[in-house]
Structure 1
Amino acid sequence: MTKKLTKEMEVLENRWMDNRVDCHWSITEEFIVGINEESQLVCEQSRQFMRIFSLRLASQPFHLRQPLSTHNQDALQSNDNELYDDHDVDV
């Protein structure tokens, strides 16, 4: 090939590469903008949820957790004993 033709091919290849880089940059830029917008929406939704949750929590009276009734405690103790009985080892 002649030097002139080689130089023209090199120029065309450089233009093609520049166009590809520009295209990729444009897509990347749009992607970044989209992610930022989505992130802002998620943050705003989280703030709204926390506000609603806080208002609901503040509007409800505070109740201490009720202890288990003695019937339930006896049932739990019975279940625990059965677990230990199943694993007895004779020596």
Structure 2
Amino acid sequence: MKQDRISEITRKAIEVPMGFTQSLMEKTEKVKTPSPRVDKIGRSIGACVGVLLLLTGGAGLLVGKSSWAIGSLSVGAVTILSNFICIGKNKK
């Protein structure tokens, strides 16, 4: 009798946190996937920032600040490439 009670308490102590964990995992899945509208806005902002960095890098090359310009061009290219990769993943 006493052992059955201990088993029941142990079972409840295991099941309650597992249920809570499962509900949190389901909520997290919903949160980590943005809505299509938010995703589109984020891609637009990312593309604008990437183009701005490319233009800034080009202007830096014309002015003669080569190390600064190369860094800006590199970051702009990576930003735009990242946007294209994100678009490709979302289409699948």
Per the shorter chain, which TM-score range?
0.3 to 0.5
Q: Which has the larger radius of gyration?
A: 1
Greater relative CO, 1 or 2 (CA 8 Å, sep 6+): 2
More helix by percentage: 2
Q: What TM-score do the two structures reach when normalised by structure 2?
A: 0.46
Q: Return the TM-score normalized by structure 1.
A: 0.46
